[in-house]
């Protein structure tokens, strides 16, 4: 049964279960208990803020439920960070208003989700800070000395550290699994391109063999039969004439078969590119393709595939985007690709190895790449790959808005 749940769901449900169970001792602490004397412990807690403790408990559950939805599969926003602070604050408030260590237990739950939402050093600092903020609770609620309270907080730091490492390992495993899925999608796309390239090469070889061997021999046979037709007479001439006619028909059939084989040499780019959109972690890839989308040159098809893979990889790793739109067009003897994401963008960017490799691949065939980005507006790449070796090189990529040419990268990302 548990096999049906991934790390995210297990962590979510375990945390919600712990939060729900904490409600039972909180209830016992906040209910009046007259049999303990004139003013029982529950009456003390109720009088000093039992209602606030329950509000903090409800706030913790609401924040945890929101933060752990699609955990690891969505972009962490400013709202998530604010809710994370509210989550930790609610755990601390439960300890303060209930005068108990229940908040320290809930901080272990917070520790499990911190690696999914914050960098490691920030998560560790936040945990240590939260545990020592509760030190006055141990002094007031348990009559500890300050030394004993700090020692108790240090003990809980060890527990929460263990929970933090557990969440970190789960996060790393999820990332490794997502990376494996992405690489498997790239492998399927490469395998599809390889299979089509092998098919095209085999068709080319067969058509060449038919044309060079069978075609030439049939042509020689037809010429010899034509000569024999002039040298014979009577019944023999009739048979030679029929043989000559059959040889010409057979030669015509061979030429037609060669033409049909060569006519099916194009690579279906839809079958090659669409698998790249499957199982991309935390990113929806929307691919728009012309129908049909066929390329005659396997090498150019390979360049287009590699550029698409690099764009998806860069978007996943750097853009903090949720949607990537890839639009392919074939016009004026070239394939054009516009890649647009909804990520954070940047004031400026420095070309990395990925974009430099993309530029080099395109430049080998007279292609080019242009980029546009600004803070909060995502990143846009425009690629142009000529389909004809005679196509002019270094032609600028025009901005579709008509405002002028886009920046042509001296380096690719």
pTM value is 0.57
Distance, CA of 149 to CA of 142 (rounded, Å):
9
pLDDT tens-digit series, residues 118-133:
888 888 888 888 888 8
Is pLDDT at 97 greater than 60 in this prediction? Answer: yes
Strands 284-288 and 323-331: parallel
Is pLDDT at 44 greater than 50 in this prediction? Answer: no
pLDDT tens-digit series, residues 351-382:
677 788 888 888 888 888 888 888 777 888 89
* Cβ–Cβ under 8 Å, residues 397 and 408: yes
Q: Which helix (H) or strand (E) holds 385?
A: strand 379-386
pLDDT tens-digit series, residues 281-321:
778 889 998 888 888 787 888 888 888 888 888 888 777 78
pLDDT of residue 262: 60
Is pLDDT at 20 greater than 60 in this prediction? Answer: yes
Q: Which helix (H) or strand (E) holds 327?
A: strand 323-331
pLDDT of residue 306: 86
Q: Which helix (H) or strand (E) holds 224?
A: helix 216-231
pLDDT of residue 265: 61
Q: Which of 78, 67, 73 has its CA nearest to residue 12?
A: 67
Is pLDDT at 2 greater than 70 in this prediction? Answer: no
pLDDT of residue 328: 92
Distance, CA of 344 to CA of 319 (rounded, Å):
6
* Cβ–Cβ under 8 Å, residues 322 and 342: yes
Q: Which residue has the higher pLDDT, 22 or 264?
A: 22
pLDDT tens-digit series, residues 150-197:
888 888 888 888 888 888 888 888 777 777 777 777 777 777 777 777
Cis amide linkage into residue 238, ω under 30° from 0: no
pLDDT of residue 32: 62
* Cβ–Cβ under 8 Å, residues 90 and 63: yes
* Cβ–Cβ under 8 Å, residues 29 and 56: no
pLDDT of residue 326: 92
Q: Which helix (H) or strand (E) holds 117?
A: helix 102-117
Mean residue pLDDT across the chain: 77
pLDDT of residue 14: 86
DSSP 8-state class, residue 277:
G
pLDDT of residue 4: 59
Q: What is the mean pLDDT of residues 101-117?
A: 87
pLDDT of residue 383: 92
Distance, CA of 49 to CA of 45 (rounded, Å):
6
The fold for domain 269-408 equals Heat Shock Protein 90 (3.30.565)
Distance, CA of 65 to CA of 57 (rounded, Å):
12
229, 231, 240, 248, 407 from 235: Cα distances, Å: 11, 12, 9, 20, 80
pLDDT of residue 58: 92
Distance, CA of 76 to CA of 72 (rounded, Å):
9
Distance, CA of 388 to CA of 393 (rounded, Å):
11
Distance, CA of 258 to CA of 91 (rounded, Å):
77
Q: What is the mean pLDDT of residues 212-219?
A: 71
pLDDT of residue 33: 55
Q: Greatest CA span in the chain, whole angstroms?
A: 139
* Cβ–Cβ under 8 Å, residues 230 and 285: no
Structure tokens given for 236: 């023999």
How sure is the predictor about 226, in pLDDT bands with cuts at 50, 70 and 90? confident
Is pLDDT at 219 greater than 80 in this prediction? Answer: no
Determine whether 273 is exposed, middle or buried from the number of CB atoms within 10 Å of its CB (0-12, 13-18, 19+): buried
Helices (H), 100-233: 102-117, 120-133, 135-141, 146-209, 216-231
């Amino acid at each position: 049964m548990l096999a049906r749940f991934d790390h995210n769901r297990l962590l979510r449900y375990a945390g919600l279960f712990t939060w729900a169970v904490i409600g039972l001792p909180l209830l016992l602490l906040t209910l009046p208990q007259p049999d303990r004397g004139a003013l029982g412990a529950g009456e003390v807690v109720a009088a000093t803020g039992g209602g606030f403790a329950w509000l903090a408990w409800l706030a913790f559950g609401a924040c945890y439920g929101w933060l752990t939805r699609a955990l690891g599969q969505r972009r962490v926003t400013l709202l998530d960070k604010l809710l994370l602070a509210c989550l930790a604050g609610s755990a601390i408030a439960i300890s303060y208003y209930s005068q108990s260590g229940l908040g320290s237990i809930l901080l272990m739950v917070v520790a499990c989700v911190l690696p999914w939402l914050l960098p490691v050093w920030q998560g560790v600092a936040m945990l240590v800070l939260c545990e020592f903020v509760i030190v006055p609770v141990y002094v007031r609620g348990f009559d500890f000395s300050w030394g004993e309270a700090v020692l108790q907080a240090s003990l809980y730091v060890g527990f929460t550290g263990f929970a933090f490492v557990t969440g970190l390992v789960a996060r790393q495993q999820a990332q490794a699994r997502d990376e494996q899925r992405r690489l498997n999608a790239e492998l399927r796309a490469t395998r599809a391109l390889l299979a089509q390239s092998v098919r095209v090469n085999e068709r080319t070889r067969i058509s060449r063999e038919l044309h060079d061997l069978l075609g030439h021999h049939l042509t020689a046979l037809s010429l010899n039969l034509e000569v024999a037709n002039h040298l014979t007479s009577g019944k023999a001439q009739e048979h030679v004439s029929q043989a000559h006619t059959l040889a010409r028909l057979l030669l015509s059939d061979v030429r037609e078969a060669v033409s049909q084989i060569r006519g099916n040499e194009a690579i279906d780019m839809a079958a090659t590119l669409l698998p790249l959109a499957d199982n991309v972690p935390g990113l929806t890839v929307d691919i728009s393709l012309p129908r049909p989308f066929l390329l005659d040159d396997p090498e150019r098809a390979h360049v287009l595939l590699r550029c698409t893979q690099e764009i998806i990889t860069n978007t996943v790793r750097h853009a903090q985007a949720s949607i990537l739109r890839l639009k392919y067009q074939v016009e004026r003897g070239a394939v054009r690709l516009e890649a647009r994401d909804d990520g954070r963008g940047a004031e400026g960017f420095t070309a990395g190895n990925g974009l430099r490799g993309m530029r080099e691949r395109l430049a080998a065939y007279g292609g080019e790449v242009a980029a546009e980005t600004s803070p909060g507006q995502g990143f846009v790449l425009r690629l142009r790959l000529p389909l004809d070796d005679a196509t002019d090189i270094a032609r600028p990529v025009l901005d579709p808005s008509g405002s002028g040419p886009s920046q042509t990268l001296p380096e690719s990302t």
